[in-house]
Amino acid sequence: MNGIFITGEGPEGAGKTSILNKLAEDFSARGCNIVLTREPGGIRIAEQIREIILNKDNTEMDARTEALLYAAARRQHLVEKVKPALEKGAVVLCDRFIDSSLAYQGYARGLGIEEVYEMNLFATQDMMPDATLFFDITPEAGLERIEKNKGREVNRLDLEALDFHHKVYKGYQILLEKFHGRMHRIDASASFEEVYLAASKKFEQLLVQKGLL
């Protein structure tokens, strides 16, 4: 593939969406071909699956059903949007990807990181991101930001107990070790300006290395 596939990961309220939006805006202005997208979603079918997964009324959803739905949305999004963009040499910037499944379904839901990884590799045909920016924040601090953000709709996973969000955080720490070459930790507890500076520095480095900037 000619482009580069970069994902943003982290617990709820880490600031991923805000930072990725600004990266896309600023680097597009510098002439980069940025495709900003998200998971679950980014295309029609995956947005429909998102509605099912995140609907607050779907409290009876089984953990494996949940994991399979995320993987199904991922598959469709990858073939329909991500791969074609990469083939055209774009910088694909995706808000969450496989690591979310490993942290949330694999570790926090207790399905097993390796089991969920295997199932997702079937969905992606072994495709993984080139690099991942991990926005590191404690669950308490992230959830506090979300509470202050009155405009944001609360989804089914936000409503999980604090213990679940602690497990998600622990899951991500395991992934940081497992994928230390790919995942780049960014301290997301700092001010927006400081977090953006750290993220844009790393992002720029990745694009330069790939010859895309």
Ligand X SMILES: Nc1ncnc2c1ncn2[C@@H]1O[C@H](COP(=O)(O)OP(=O)(O)OP(=O)(O)O)[C@@H](O)[C@H]1O
Ligand Y SMILES: Cc1cn([C@H]2C[C@H](O)[C@@H](COP(=O)(O)O)O2)c(=O)[nH]c1=O
The binding site for ATP consists of 10-17
Question: Which option in ligand Y, ligand X, none does residue 14 bind, with CB closer than 5 to 8 A by kind?
Answer: ligand X
Span 53-112, contacts to ligand X by CB under 6 A: none
Binding of residue 28 to ligand X (CB under 6 A):
no
Binding of residue 124 to ligand Y (CB under 6 A):
no
CA atoms 203, 205, 211, 213: torsion sign? positive
Span 129-158, contacts to ligand X by CB under 6 A: 145-146, 149
Binding of residue 42 to ligand X (CB under 6 A):
no
Q: In what order do the strands lie in the sheet with 4-9?
A: 34-38, 91-95, 4-9, 131-136, 183-187
Of 8, 13, 15, 40, the residue at the interface with ligand Y (CB under 6 A) is 40
Cα separation, 25 vs 27, in Å, equals 6
Span 51-110, contacts to ligand Y by CB under 6 A: 70, 96, 100-101, 104-105
CB-nearest residue to ligand X: 15
Binding of residue 14 to ligand X (CB under 6 A):
yes
Residue 70 host element (H or E): helix 63-77
- Give the tokens for residue 23: 């990266």
Q: How far is the CB of 101 from ligand X (least distance, A)?
A: 14
Of 15, 40, 106, 139, the residue at the interface with ligand X (CB under 6 A) is 15
Q: What are phi and psi of 132, to 5 degrees?
A: -135, 130
Cα separation, 76 vs 69, in Å, equals 11
Q: Which residues are annotated as a binding site?
A: 10-17
Written as one string, the DSSP assignment of 128-163 is --SEEEEEE--HHHHHHHHHH-TTSPP-TTTTS-HH
Cα separation, 85 vs 83, in Å, equals 5
Question: Which option in ligand X, ligand Y, none does residue 157 bind, with CB closer than 5 to 8 A by kind?
Answer: ligand Y
Sites of contact with ligand Y (CB under 6 A):
12, 38-40, 70, 96, 100-101, 104-105, 155, 157
Chain positions contacting ligand X, by CB under 6 A = 10, 12-18, 145-146, 149, 191-192, 195
